[in-house]
Structure formats: structure tokens, C-alpha cells
Chains A and B, each alone.
Chain A
Amino acid sequence: MSELFWWVFASIAIGCGIGTITSRSPVASLMFLVVAFFSLSAIYVLLGAHFIAVVQVIVYAGAILVLFLFVIMLLNLGHDYRSDLRSGGWILTGFGAAGLIGYFVSRSFGGVPALMQGDPPAFEAAVAERNIIGAIAFPMYQDYIVPFELVGLLLLVAIVGAVIMAKRRI
């Protein structure tokens, strides 16, 4: 049953990803991306990462994409339906780059079976000891406290930079 749901949500995610990069209106593109993020959140649930799924819906679909929607409305871009594809050279470069990435990724999947031989009981043990939120919070505030503080600093810098750039005449 969960396999079936996985395939359903994976195909929704891929379809909406294609919709995101092909639709002409930015608003339609954004709505496709919202649906793709919701189905990714469902896939997180199927993988047992319930807290990440909730954060995905609240932070990504609820905050970041709404920020994009505000900017689209602010700039009044919703009715610009001209095709905006780049010219031939760029498309060839894009296909080349995507093919190269796909080639290296598929080769590394074939060549590194050690990637899949980790420590499978570690996840279940951590979740069983504390709950799913505690299992994430414990390493975050113990082992990764310095990256955590640095990320807070990064957010502060981003806020200040965004305010300065949006206010001042450049």
C-alpha cells in the first residue's frame, strides 16, 4: 500500500516539476511548485520523516513560496505570457549539462554500493529512544550546535541585506 502511494506522489512530484519549468505564467509555475512540495512532504511521511514533512509544508510551501507569490503580485507579472525560452545554444548547453549530471550520478550509483550499506537500525533506534522530534533535536543541539548558530547568523545577515537592497536606490 505504501509502495503504491509512493509511486502516486512521486509521479505527481515529477509532473508538477515539469509543469514548473514549462508553464509561461510565473503564478502557474509557482502553483505547480506548491503541489510538488506537498507531494514531496507526503513522500517524507512515507519515509518516516514526519517532522520534516510538517516543516516542509509550513516553512517551504507556507512561507518561502508565499514570499515568492508576494513578489510576483508586487511586480504585477501575472499576465506576461510571452514565451521566454533561451535561444538554441543555451538549450544545447542545458541538455549537455543535464546529461552529464545524469551520467555521473548513474555511474556513481552503479559503482558505489557501499552508499547503501550504512547502519539501518540507527534510524529506528534513535526514533525509538526519543520521539521523532527529539531524535532530530538531540544531535542538532549537541553535535551540530556551531553550524546551528552559524545558520542563525546567516539568517540575520540575509534579513539585513534584503532590507538594505529593497530600500535603497541602486
Chain B
Amino acid sequence: MVTPTLVLAVILFGLGVAGVVFRRNAIILFLCVELMLNAVNLAFVALSRVWGIEGQVFVFFVMTVAAAEAAVGLALIIAIFRHRESVDAMDFNLLRW
């Protein structure tokens, strides 16, 4: 059951990439990043069946990084929303030249 799970992980990662590229709502963009991180977790867990338990240890590290990323990203969204009254990624051009 490892190979179909890896294929499922690829499909979910592709969906996440598609969401990040297509959508403009910044919150949905972050949700798609979470989906991609979960696809990576799924691949780690599937390969831990084959290669030993270390894959599941790395899932914890990925989850921690995801939590940190969500906290900082949502704080950024709130800060920019105060400034711009919008969460449209096309309006986030503070650093664009």
C-alpha cells in the first residue's frame, strides 16, 4: 500500500500547488500551503513503512514548522489587512518595485 499512498501524496501536493498559483485570496493561499505540507507528511509516513521509523520523527518537525509558518503568516495577513482592508494577494505590493 506504499506506492498508491505516494501517488496520493503527489496528487495532494499538485492540488496545493494549483491552489497557490490560481487563487488570489491570501488565506486560501496559506491553506493550500498547509495542504502541500500534509502531502509531504503523507509521503514521509508511507516511506517510514519501508525505511524505518525516522520518517515519522520528521513528520513532527514538519508539523512544527507548519505551525510556526501559520502563526507568522496569519500575523502578516492581519497586519496587511489593517493597512489595506483586503486579503487579495494582488493588493499586497508593499515590496514590489
Contacts and interface: CB of A to CB of B under 8 A. Distances in A.
Interface string A139-162: 110011001100100110111011
A122 B31 contact: no
A64 B56 contact: no
Interface in A61-104: 63-65, 67-68, 71-72, 74-75, 77, 80, 84-86, 90-91, 93-94, 97-98, 101-102
A168 B78 CA distance: 11
User: Which of A40, A117, A159 gathers most chain B CB within 10 Å?
Assistant: A40
Interface in A23-39: 26, 29-30, 33, 36-37
A111 B60 CA distance: 29
A158 B76 CA distance: 12
B82 to A, nearest CB: 8
B53 A126 contact: yes
B12 A13 contact: yes
Given A37-B38, A68-B30, A85-B23, A51 B56 contact: yes
Contacts, number: 227
Interface residues of A, number: 86
A102 B10 contact: yes
B14 A59 contact: no
Nearest to A32: B31
B11 to A, nearest CB: 6
A1 interface: no
Main secondary structure of the interface of A (DSSP, over half): helix
Contacts of A120: 49-50
Contacts of B46: 47
B1 A21 contact: no
A70 B12 CA distance: 25
A122 B51 contact: yes
B79 A90 contact: no
Nearest to B63: A59
A59 B67 contact: yes
10 contacts: A21-B22, A33-B34, A33-B35, A47-B45, A68-B70, A86-B23, A102-B10, A139-B53, A154-B65, A158-B72
Interface of B: 1-6, 8, 10-19, 21-25, 27-28, 30-32, 34-35, 38, 41-42, 45-54, 56-57, 59-61, 63-72, 74-83, 87-88, 90
